[in-house]
Amino acid sequence: MGAFAIAIHGGAGTILQSLMTAEQEKAYLKALQEAVDTGYDILKAGGSAVDAVTAATVSLENCELFNAGRGSVFTANGQHEMDASIMDGKSLEAGAVTGISQVKNPVLLAKEIMINSPHLLFFGEGAMSFARERGLEFETEEYFYSEYRYQQLKAAQQSDEVVLDHSSIENGAKKFGTVGAVACDQYGNVAAATSTGGMTNKPPGRVGDSPIIGAGTYANNQTCAISCTGHGELFIRSVAAFHVHAQMLYQNRSLATAMEDVVLNKLLPIGGEGGMIGVDAQANVSLQFNSEGMYRGMKHSDGRQTCEVYKTSEV
C-alpha cells in the first residue's frame, strides 16, 4: 500500500477577502472541508480513486454555495443546464454529460455512463433518459432554485452580459464556477471528476470545458489526474488538462512544473483565467491558478491538509 491523497476545487476567479464576509468565508471553508473529508475517508478505508472523487464531487454538488448541482446558475432563458465528467486513470475509461436538468448529481450520471455504457458523452434529453434507466435521483425545479442565483440572472440580463459563475456585477468580481476532485488511492490509481452549472445568462446549448475529456478533466495512471476551473472556451482551446499529462509523459516534467506551465504560460496569454488541481500517481498534489483566488482543499496520507480561498503559498 502506498501514499494516497485527494484535492478539490470549487471555482476560481476574482475572489477577494475584502468582498467576502467572515460568515461567507467560514461557510465556504466548511463546505470544502466536508468534501475533502468525504473523499479522503474513502481512500483511507482502501477505496478507489474513482469512488473518492465521485463522493467529494457529490458533496460539492449538494452545496448551494457552488455552481454545480443544487447551486447551478440560470441560463438566459431561466433554466438550468448542468455538465459533468469523470475519468479513471487506471483503465482510461471516462463518462460525461452535458445540457441536463433536474438530475440531482450530474457526476453520478457521468459515472454511470462510464461504467454502464459503451459511449462516453451524452447530452440533453438522451442523457436524462439514461439517468432514468439507471435509477438516478431527480429533483424538482424548486430544488435548484435560488433567489440569489435568480437575481444574478436578472442583473446579467439588464447589462446584457454572460457572467462567469456567481459574479457580482455590482462589485466587478468574477468567479468561474466549477467544482471538481482528483485523487490517488493506496494502489497508485488516479481519477478526476468535474461538474458545473455553466455561466449565468449563457445562451442555451453552450458547452464549456467541464464535460470535455482532455480539456476540463483528464486522468492517466502514467502521469496524473487533473480537474480544471475557468473560462471554458480557453481551456478547450488549450486542451488544458491533457496538456499537463503530455508534458509529464513526453518532457518528464513534474506535476507542479507542468501545471504551472499550462496555467501561466499556455492559458494566461490567451486570456484563460482560472486554475486546476492535480495529483500524480505518487500522490503528489498541486493546486495552481492564475486568478485572485480559488476555492480549494487537499488532504494527504502523510498528514498534510488545507482548505483555502485566497492567494497563499503553494501546497
What is the Cα–Cα distance from 212 to 238, expressed in whole angstroms? 12
E strand or H helix that includes residue 279: strand 274-280
What is the total residue count of the chain?
315
DSSP 8-state class, residue 268? G
Is 178 one of the annotated active-site residues of the chain?
yes
What would the grid cell of residue 158 be? Answer: 439588464
What sections of the chain are H helices per DSSP? 22-44, 49-61, 106-116, 124-133, 141-144, 147-159, 232-238, 240-251, 255-260
Separation between Cα atoms, residue 59 and residue 61, nearest integer Å = 6
Which residue is associated with the grid cell 480557453?
234
For residue 80 the three cell numbers come to 438550468
List the catalytic residue out of 14, 178, 200, 223.
178
Enter the C-alpha cell of residue 281: 500517481
Grid cell digits, residue 247 = 508534458
Q: At what angle do helices 22-44 and 49-61 cross, to 10 degrees?
A: 160
Can you read off the three cell numbers belonging to residue 249?
509523459
Rounded Cα distance, 137 and 131, in Å: 8
- CB 210, CB 197: distance < 8 Å: no
Assign residue 172 a region (left: φ > 0; alpha: ψ between -120 and 50; beta: otherwise): left
- Tell me the catalytic residues: 178
